[in-house]
Structure 1
Amino acid sequence: MIANVASRRVLLGKTPRARAWALAATGRAIHVDAPPIVPTLTSSYAHGTSSSSLLDVTVGDALDRAADRWPDREAAVFVRDGVRKTFAQFHRDVERAAAGLLCLGLRRGERLGMWGPNTYEWLLFQFATAKAGIITVSVNPAYQAEEAEFALRKVGCKAVVCPEAFKTQKYCDMLRLICPEIPACPPGDIRSARLPDLRSVIVLDSRQPGMFHLDDVMQAGDNRFLRRLHEIGKKLLCDDPVNILFTSGTTGRPKGATLTHHNVVNNAFFVGKRVGFDWRPATRVCLPVPLYHCFGSVGGGICMAVHGLSLVFPSPEYSGKDNLAAMQSEKCTFVYGTPTMYVDMTTQPDVRRFDLSSVVGGIIAGSPCPPELVQSVMSVMGIKEVTGHRPPGCVRLLPRRRSHQGSHHQRRRKRLPGRNRAVPAHAPQSQRSAGGGRGGRPHERGDLRLHQSEGRTAVNRGRRQDFLQRKDFSLQDSALRGVRRQLSAHRHRKGPETGTASAGRGAAGTREGQVSVFHVKT
């Protein structure tokens, strides 16, 4: 809003030069603090005009505000496990868990791996680590020993939280396979050759040699560590890292991406505004998507804190029938899912027996959604509003390019590695994750990003990369090559390459070949 007012003031100026500057700045959607004759950026920190300001708060701040505003509202319901927590209860558990982690020796900026299905403890430690300044590492619960070792070693996890087992996944057995030294070590002092950073393993449901139990953590945080927790909270910045997510590993080893408090809070804030969480009363979201994905942890967990949602988890793993039963029994008003999850729910043989009249909206994400599925969801499940990604095709391979450009959306910043300050414009810097250090771990992609004075960004690829926008399953390399050949032939027929859309920072318009967001309402 301030930027809009500033632009109008200059536009009403008497000099043609001032009017030209205003038109140029408005066209570029860039706001700077003073009106230069030629709009330039002196720092790589700029933001676009918007009627909704970005939130400069941490995840812990968001939860504190939610607990103060809605103390008696249900924050999370885990139907199969029989767990129900109000915001006040959840906030109290989070502070106890965070203080316990500090007592175990974890410090701000260190990493804790969450490895397991959707349980209350996953949500609990997501917020406990955020409050303590610890970085949550989202580990795929389907990882086998080799994959888990790669992920935990890559990011240098100091602690791992997991159940003993879930279905066929034997988490503690796999950790002992990776680190045979664990049974002989005292809890909290693991010394492993293959995971040199690992010190603690916290088991959720049983006691194991050399490992802590969840109760040990919850009881360890006394008043001294609670005071330390509150002191840390005062020093945390919204630009501090809070979460590391791994890619699927479709075209190689999984690669890590680090998200900050600012990333996840504003992602949740604007997702909620887009679908109306900011004005809908007491929204209850059925959440079958996994918490180790951004869809579940940010679209679910962080949205809960930012917008006061009540999250309903039907089961630890996906079950279409459990989802329908939970929507009926818990009177859910919204439902999340990937396209394949919605296909499964709409094709359940007894779907029409469930009373889904309370469900008014849904989000289909994770991959592009065909129009036929939207129609099926609205007709079979009776959902009136659906928001998701509109696909240009069933599978889309974003074209490889030496560089691409994109205009600023809201705010974009670039910082010197290891320093909490913006770099000058025109200064190319390797794209490191926030709080990287230690030789770029985690993770340095090798690309260079150059902020130009007119407010645009060029990314020069440090290596050849393939980006796959897929449905919910991996494609083999041979299939990738076939898709690439088809798309290459299509581009030659249609003309020059189209640009790519970056998640969360797309340009104002959508060009040919990009995935765009749709919102369907009856």
Structure 2
Amino acid sequence: MAMSYLKSRSDEPLVDVTLGQLLDDTAARWPEKEAYVFRKQGVRMTCAEVKREADRLAAGLLSIGVGRGDVVAWVVSTRPEWIALGFAVAKIGAVALPLIPLYFWSSYDDIVSKVMAKVKVKVFLIENFPATEDFEGTLSFLKRAFPETTSQKTRGLTFDTMPSLKSIVIVGDKNHEDAFYNLKDIQSLGDDDTARGRVQEAQSHSDCHDAVMLTLTSGSAGLPKCVEHSSFTIVNNTLLHVRGTGMDTKKTVLMPTDLTEAAFIFHLPIITVGTLVLPIDESPTVTELFSAIMEERCETTTLMYVKHFHEFLHHPALNDFNISFLKQVSVGGNAVTKPLVQRAAEVLPCVDIQKMYGTTETMSLAVTGPGRTKEQIETTVGNLLPHMEMKLVDRHGQIVPLQHEGEVWVRGYSVFRRYRGDEEKTAEAKTTDGWYKTGDIGILEENGLLKITGRKEEFIIRDSTNVHPTTVEQVLLTHPKVFDVKVVGVPDPASVEEICACIILKKGQTSDQEEMEEFSEKHGLIDDYCPGYVIFMDSFPVTSTGRKFDRKKLRDIAIERLSLKEGAE
């Protein structure tokens, strides 16, 4: 019997190169090639300019004591300094921890500060955002979070709340009376030949297998885990992904998120020698994406989250912009439903929709790739990228037969090194022989294509039946009145859990539970899978990063709306 195991091969070997070496090599070969377009700031950076700014900043960081293995965290919006920071930290063998601004400001006190302390941040850079009616402003925040800075400079200070932290650097206007370093001060330290020589010396001792970047998982409960990757994993994953999707043949690429949302691919134009277009300094609106595509003649996109792609396809101004240059859109971050792919084919008939599957712990794992049939794009996440192994296993860790559901486990070069500061959770997620347990439930077909059917922990146990939300959602999404639907399990004294369908209707539509129940039965849901509750909503809650739908919060909302109680008899 054929089993759900696959090892992807490639004639092209993986490359041993650090991010710093990659930048130097590309800048030497194509110095005048335009690499980044920052539309908000009106800045267009060539490869040579990126290298120059990265070298200056790397030298400055060395001058304030940053060394190999030190963690440098930053809260910076999408601006040129972000790119310089990413490469500068890599050049000197340090470790980057970019933090999403919205998440940072909303979660610093109870979450982010603890994570920063756990991973031992040494230097912290933060953008100088002004105070507003709803926001205290960067300087007021720093004086509250780090009271030591009110009486002394931060140079060489020991902070009670974060003992590892040695320096705080302000990015932006210098109006803080020397209480903190300013980024321009740091940059100016790297203007002489001696400083640049120190950068080359530090870079010569860095290794592509060293940790180079940390990123937080977007969990909805407890402290997020801090995922550790090396230059080796980041560079090779990007290379194999762009080749697998055909993105390497596109000249101009749109980034539909802010930079920190796509931290693993900030170096994309240095690999592809294309141009990365960044529409604004934070998460762009759909109309800002339309404008950027039209004015910069963007041919493809980096990852667009499902939520944003949904807005993109249903935006009333879609036909007001000439986006005929767009030939490809990459979508992922959550389940890409069949109706969404069908909508894309309807309103963007000349655009190739690339479904992406991956995790923070592995980066990109599978893509639908060019040449897939309509059915394959609608129902699968494509083929495993080269140089990886995958198996689907049952609850005992045993491989299941082909075309049977199992948890997706993967092994290979792109699997994260560890959760920094959390060896226990690392051991739970990775086996001793290197398999990462994704927690995703899928089906491997005979042709090697992978279907993702849901998440392991999301199963609803209704009486003795395991029901996955996706099974119910896919049926209700085909109802002509339904705009979006999410299914959660809510407490039930008889069945332990009952299925609750949370539905957003299309504008101007009305419905009720009876209509949805009849539709479910008519379209193939057996009694055990039909929702016992249906509630109608205007929107769904998302995690604090704003990236993903928060099923736990939605469950809490449903329980409250239905006046249910946990453990009720």
TM-score by length of 2: 0.64
- 1:491 CA displacement: 7.1
Query: Conserved in 1, the CA contact under 8 Å of 2:16 and 2:232?
Result: yes
* Structural mapping, 1:45-124, within 5 Å: 49-124=9-84
Task: State the partner residue of 2:339.
Answer: 372
Higher strand share: 2
Task: Identify the match of residue 465 of structure 2 among 468, 481, 489.
Answer: 489
Query: Conserved in 2, the CA contact under 8 Å of 1:50 and 1:410?
Result: no
Matched, 1:271 2:241: yes
Alpha-carbon distance change, 480 to 84 in structure 1, aligned in 2, over 3 angstroms: same
Alpha-carbon distance change, 354 to 197 in structure 1, aligned in 2, over 3 angstroms: same
Q: State the AA in 1 paired with 2:300.
A: F
- 1:466 CA displacement: 7.1
Alpha-carbon distance change, 443 to 127 in structure 1, aligned in 2, over 3 angstroms: farther
- 1:172 CA displacement: 3.5
Q: CA RMSD in A?
A: 3.3
Distance in 2 between residues matched to 1:239 and 1:488, nearest whole Å: 47
Alpha-carbon distance change, 407 to 446 in structure 1, aligned in 2, over 3 angstroms: closer
Task: State the partner residue of 2:282.
Answer: 317
* Structural mapping, 1:82-481, within 5 Å: 82-142=42-102, 143=104, 144=106, 145-146=108-109, 147-165=111-129, 170-207=137-174, 208=176, 209-221=178-190, 222-278=192-248, 280=249, 283-293=251-261, 296-299=262-265, 301-318=266-283, 319-336=285-302, 337-389=304-356, 401=395, 403=397, 411=413, 432=418, 440=421, 445-447=426-428, 449-451=431-433
Deviates more, 1:119-128 or 1:384-393: 384-393
SS of alignment partner, residue 301 of structure 2: strand
Deviates more, 1:482-491 or 1:67-76: 482-491
- 1:402 CA displacement: 6.1
Deviations 1:23-58 (A, max 9, x none): xxxx985xxxxxxxxxxxxxxxxxx74212111111
Distance in 1 between residues matched to 2:342 and 2:415, nearest whole Å: 40
- 1:486 CA displacement: 5.7
Q: State the AA in 2 paired with 1:213.
A: N
Distance in 2 between residues matched to 1:156 and 1:351, nearest whole Å: 46
Alpha-carbon distance change, 408 to 348 in structure 1, aligned in 2, over 3 angstroms: closer
- 1:298 CA displacement: 2.1
Q: State the AA in 2 paired with 1:138.
A: P
Distance in 1 between residues matched to 2:73 and 2:67, nearest whole Å: 14
SS of alignment partner, residue 94 of structure 1: helix
- 1:115 CA displacement: 1.1
Q: State the AA in 1 paired with 2:180.
A: M
Alpha-carbon distance change, 307 to 404 in structure 1, aligned in 2, over 3 angstroms: farther
Distance in 1 between residues matched to 2:463 and 2:252, nearest whole Å: 41
Alpha-carbon distance change, 489 to 291 in structure 1, aligned in 2, over 3 angstroms: farther
Query: Conserved in 1, the CA contact under 8 Å of 2:439 and 2:457?
Result: no
Q: State the AA in 1 paired with 2:269.
A: M
Q: State the AA in 1 paired with 2:214.
A: I
SS of alignment partner, residue 445 of structure 1: helix
Structure 1 unaligned spans of 5+: 1-26, 30-47, 415-430, 452-456, 470-478, 493-522
Deviations 1:252-305 (A, max 9, x none): 211111011111001111111112133x15x21111223223xx1223x12222
SS of alignment partner, residue 161 of structure 1: strand
TM-score by length of 1: 0.69
Relative contact order higher in (CA < 8 Å, ≥ 6 apart):
1
Distance in 2 between residues matched to 1:392 and 1:132, nearest whole Å: 44
Query: Conserved in 1, the CA contact under 8 Å of 2:460 and 2:467?
Result: no
- Identical columns (%): 23
Query: Conserved in 1, the CA contact under 8 Å of 2:92 and 2:199?
Result: yes
Task: State the partner residue of 2:499.
Answer: none
Q: State the AA in 1 paired with 2:17.
A: V
Query: Conserved in 1, the CA contact under 8 Å of 2:253 and 2:299?
Result: yes
Q: How many residues align?
A: 400
- 1:400 CA displacement: 9.5
Distance in 2 between residues matched to 1:488 and 1:311, nearest whole Å: 51
